[in-house]
Amino acid sequence: MMFILLLACIEAPDHDGIAIGNPPSVAARLAPVDGAQVTTARMHVSEVTAGCGAQLEMVTDVGAVDLLAENALPVPSSDACVMSIGASSALELSFLRDDGAQIQGAIDVGTLSLMAEEPVALTGSWVFELGTPGWLGEGMLDGPSPLAPGSEAYGLIVAALRSGSSLFADLDEDGQLSASERADGAWLQASAADDVIGTGDGDDGEDTDGDGDDTACPYGEDDDEH
């Protein structure tokens, strides 16, 4: 599967780094919802790409990813101003509504693209969150077939998952996204554009963290906190 990326920049929050220095370990999680219990959330991923400009690295044949279970999403160890996750299957979702009704469906999320305003050193532990808390709006699961392709709810869910996904630093390395880690802000955030090409090199030459290069690093470099 081929896809193309938009190399653009979004404003990222300020972060304090903690020295870890490990290869990247990325847990994949579905953002929490209100009004229902998610009982199934899984998809097959064909490839994960990360990097800047023409310097892109790829992990292929990733396989099944369960967003509710303990898992690790393989991600290239690189400085990344873009990261994309290419789904090779629809996202299987099952819900148990508060009234006891069970709802099932398959959502085609396609390729998920995340971006940062400056290269981010992908080392240490991270949490990729699909969607953002509250992505399932009130009433979306009402009706006999709320997740049928072409329905209003289906379109809203696709848009919410594609536009709300982010990559957070997992500072306590527990594979979960805590309130404090969420409050620290995302390092890469979803692109509003759908897989369009960019020709920039992802490097504006600005030293953004005062260490002599322009790479943002949540976990420090050379095992020094910064």
Residue-wise pLDDT tens digits, 47-65 = 999 999 889 999 998 999 9
**So what's the pLDDT on residue 198?**
32
**What does the pLDDT look like over 150-166, one tens digit per residue?**
888 899 999 999 999 99
**What does the pLDDT look like over 86-121, one tens digit per residue?**
999 999 999 998 888 899 999 999 999 999 999 999
Amino acid in position 210? G
**So what's the pLDDT on residue 217?**
53
**So what's the pLDDT on residue 192?**
54
**What does the pLDDT look like over 127-153, one tens digit per residue?**
999 999 989 888 888 877 888 998 888
- Contact call for residues 135 and 164 (beta carbons, < 8 A): yes
**So what's the pLDDT on residue 191?**
74
Strands (E) across the chain are located at 25-30, 36-52, 55-66, 79-87, 91-97, 102-107, 111-121, 125-130, 166-169, 188-190
**So what's the pLDDT on residue 23?**
61
Tell me, rounded to whole angstroms, the distance of Cα 172 from its chain centroid.
Answer: 18
How far apart CA 186 and CA 226 sit, in angstroms, is 18
If we measure between CA atoms, which residue out of 4, 16, 7 comes closest to residue 220?
16
**So what's the pLDDT on residue 88?**
93
**So what's the pLDDT on residue 97?**
87
Amino acid in position 32? P
**What does the pLDDT look like over 168-200, one tens digit per residue?**
999 999 999 999 999 999 999 997 544 432 323
Q: What is the mean pLDDT of residues 217-226?
A: 44
Measure Cα distances from 53 to 7, 9, 79, 202 in Å: 7, 12, 11, 5
How far apart CA 112 and CA 96 sit, in angstroms, is 26
